[in-house]
Amino acid sequence: MINRVVLVGRLTRDPELRTTGSGISVATFTLAVDRQFTNSQGERGADFISCVIWRKSAENFCNFTSKGSLVGIDGRIQTRSYDNKDGQRVYVTEVVVDNFALLESRKDREARGQNGGFTPNNNGNAGAQNTNNFQPNNGGAPAANTNNAPQDKPQDPFAGSGDTIDISDDDLPF
């Protein structure tokens, strides 16, 4: 059986970090994921997905995210039930997060917070995905970025080498 979920969205509020009786950290949050289509009024809907993350990953997630943060998560769907204080059976469906990735830089996140949720860079395209690389579950530390070229122009990896590239049909794999 396969039970995998991959989502990209924004946090609807700050994640809530708690500790179990046995000292295990657990955080819960809701992820707003835009739908791919628009309704008859041209508005794009969103799904609000309940998520839970455990242990050190939960602590890291809470330290590096806040309301509005753009994140990617990888996990599995889990269903459970419990009896509330009124004795009613409550059913819960949530995503148990195994890995996460921060999809915007701290600078962009702070700029968005200062501008009422609007990201001023990306040529005025609010919510456009940033090209910074973040690795899942490494505490949110950015990966080494070796590309110092401007992001609006593709960089030629062979520029300045002075060598002519000669490829024959025998060199191609197809």
CATH at 120: 2.40.50.140
In a domain, 138, yes or no: yes
Distances (CA, A) of 167 to 81, 119, 162, 171: 62, 44, 16, 6
In a domain, 57, yes or no: yes
Contact by Cβ (8 Å): 53, 45: no
Note the pLDDT tens digit of each residue in 3-39: 999 999 999 999 999 999 999 999 999 999 999 888 8
Contact by Cβ (8 Å): 64, 29: no
In a domain, 166, yes or no: no
pLDDT reported for residue 154? 66
pTM flag (> 0.85)? no
In a domain, 125, yes or no: yes
pLDDT reported for residue 174? 59
Report strand pairing: 70-83 vs 89-102: antiparallel
Q: How many domains does the chain have?
A: 1
Q: Residues of the chain whose pLDDT is less than 70?
A: 113-167, 171-174
In a domain, 23, yes or no: yes
Q: Which domain holds residue 90?
A: 5-145
In a domain, 129, yes or no: yes
In a domain, 114, yes or no: yes
In a domain, 84, yes or no: yes
pLDDT reported for residue 112? 72
